[in-house]
Amino acid sequence: MPVAFLPGRALLTVSGEDRVALLQGLVSNDVTRAAEGVWAALLTPQGKWRADFFLHEREGALWLDVEAGQAEMIRAALARFRLRSRVAIEAAPGRVWAGWGGAPMPPQAFRDPRHPLAGWRGAAPEGAEADAEEADYDAHRLALGLPDGSRDMEAESSVLLEAGFDELNGVSWTKGCYMGQELTARTKYRGLVKRRLVPVRVEGPLPPRGAPITGPDGAECGQMRSGRGARGLALLRLEALRAGAPLSCGEARLTPDIPAWMRLPEPSHA
C-alpha cells in the first residue's frame, strides 16, 4: 500500500469569495465540484494546452496541485484574469503526496478523479511519512496510461482530447463557457482527433522524449513522450494504431497497449 511524496509537484492556493467564479471561466472542468477533487486544464484562447492541475476545495480556499516547473506561470496567468475579483493567488508551502494500491486515504486528501485505480493525492501534513519514491508513483501512472503534464503534452500545441481528458474526467461538457472551450467542443463533436497519447510497451532501450516513431514502411507516425523502464506513453497517429503493425523508435520496438478506459474513434469510411 505505497505512499510517495511527489517533489515534481507544487501547491498554490486561490482564496477569496470570487475564487470559484474566477476559475470556472478559465479551466476545462467544473470548479463547483472541487470539494471532491477535480482535474482540469488551462488552455490558450485557441484551445491548446498550457497546463493541467488538480483542484481541491478545503479550508475556505481552492488548493491547486500543479507541476512545480509551471507553478509561477500558472499563478501569473490566473492573476492576469483576476481584474476586480476578490481573490488572492499565492504559492503555498508543503509537499504533494500520493497513495495507491489500497493505501488508506488520510483526511484532507482526495481521490484522483482520473481513474478508479489512480489512488489519492493531497497536501502532505507536517510529519507525514512515505514508504515509496516518486519513481514508483511514475511507474504506477504509466501502467494506467495517465498523462503527466509537460512530459506528455506540448504547450500551445496539444489538444485535450488527444491526451484522454474526455475519458479521464478532465473536461466538463455542461458547465458553460471557459477559455478555449470552442476548439475543445469542436474537436469532440466533429471527430477531429487524428492522434492519441497511448501507453506502449518498450522492448530495448527506452527512447528519449520527442524521439520519432516509425512504422514498418519507415514513415514517421508519432513521437515518444514520457517513459520509465519497459513502459511509456507515445503520441501516435490513429491509422498507425489501427494498422497494428510493429513500431520502431531508435533501437527500441514499441507495442501499443490500449487501456480499457480509452475510447478510440471509429475509422471514417468517407
* 4, 133 Cβ separation under 8 angstroms: yes
User: 255: Cβ–Cβ under 8 A, 6 or more apart, which residues?
Assistant: 200, 201, 203, 246, 247
- Tracing cell 518498450 back to the chain, one arrives at 202
Q: What is the pLDDT of residue 267?
A: 62
Q: What is the pLDDT of residue 266?
A: 72
User: What are the residue boundaries of the structural domains of the chain, listed by start?
Assistant: 3-186, 194-256
Sign (positive/negative) of CA torsion 103, 106, 109, 110?
positive
- DSSP secondary structure, 237-256, as one string: EHHHHHH---EEETTEEEEE
Q: Tell me how far apart the alpha carbons of residues 37 and 64 are, in angstroms, rounded to a whole number.
A: 10
Higher pLDDT, 183 or 120: 120
Predicted TM-score (pTM) of the model is 0.94
* Across 127-131, 133-137, 170-174, 189-193, least confident range: 189-193
Rounded to an integer, the average pLDDT of 40-44 is: 97
Q: Could you please state the CATH topology (level 3) that the domain comprising 3-186 is classified under.
A: Gyrase A; domain 2 (3.30.1360)
For the domain 194-256, what is the CATH code? 2.40.30.110
Q: What is the pLDDT of residue 264?
A: 87
